[in-house]
Amino acid sequence: MTNYEDLIAQLSALTEGVPERISNLANAAALLYHTLPDLNWAGFYLLRRGQLWLGPFQGKPACVRIAPGRGVCGTAAVRGESLCVPDVHAFPGHIACDAASASELVVPLRVGGALYGVLDLDSPRPARFTEADRAGLEAFAKALEAALERGE
Ligand code: SME
């Protein structure tokens, strides 16, 4: 089981004093990808000009642009709440970037009181993400938001 307290402490150490948002997002993606077991993708889509654009990530190349309301990422973004999908093939409109993906967790990020983007995690294992993972990753997202607030 992942120790999210420890993961958040590592994120805080990595982002401390770093005013560049892209640098912090890149290290957050690397930290998640290399710490959480059974992931095939970890990264971000960032809201720009009304679309979610591919941001820093680890994993295979992914679709570049997602419309709000589309796929798991776009749905979580519009709802403004995390979305845990145990079986992506059963999710209407799921966007398959990597055929290996079986389950997915998306957590929206808010900066400056507005939607900034989403954190997206994919796993080749069905039902990979538990409620404990959802809670832990929401806390991780909160810590990341605080770092992003301090940067530009
Ligand atoms: N599966 C996502 C698209 C992004 S990739 O998984 C990296 C979705 O349905 O929004």
* Rounded Cα gap, residues 75 and 146, in angstroms: 23
Name the residue of 94, 119, 121 whose CB sits within 8 Å of the most ligand 1 atoms, as the mutation to test its pocket.
94
Report all structural domains of the chain as residue ranges with CATH numbers, in order of start. 4-150 (3.30.450.40)
Residue 61: per-residue pLDDT: 96
Q: Cα(96) to centroid of ligand 1, in Å?
A: 6
Q: Is 147 in the pocket of ligand 1 (CB under 6 A)?
A: no
pLDDT on residue 12: 97
Residues of the chain with pLDDT under 70: none
Centroid of ligand 1 to alpha carbon of 69 (angstroms)? 12
Helix (H, G, I), strand (E, B) or coil at 106: strand
55 CA to centre of ligand 1 in angstroms: 12
Ligand 1 centroid, distance to 17 Cα (angstroms): 31
DSSP secondary structure code for residue 64 in this structure: S
Can you give the pLDDT at residue 42? 98
CB of 136 shorter than 6 A to ligand 1: no
Please give the pLDDT value at position 97: 85
Q: Backbone dihedral region of 80: left (phi > 0), alpha (psi from -120 to 50 degrees) or beta? A: left
70 Cβ partners below 8 Å, 6+ apart? Answer: 93, 95
Using the mean position of ligand 1's atoms as its centre, give its distance from the Cα of residue 97 in Å: 6
Residue nearest to atom 3 of ligand 1 (CA): 95
The whole-number pLDDT of residue 90 equals 95
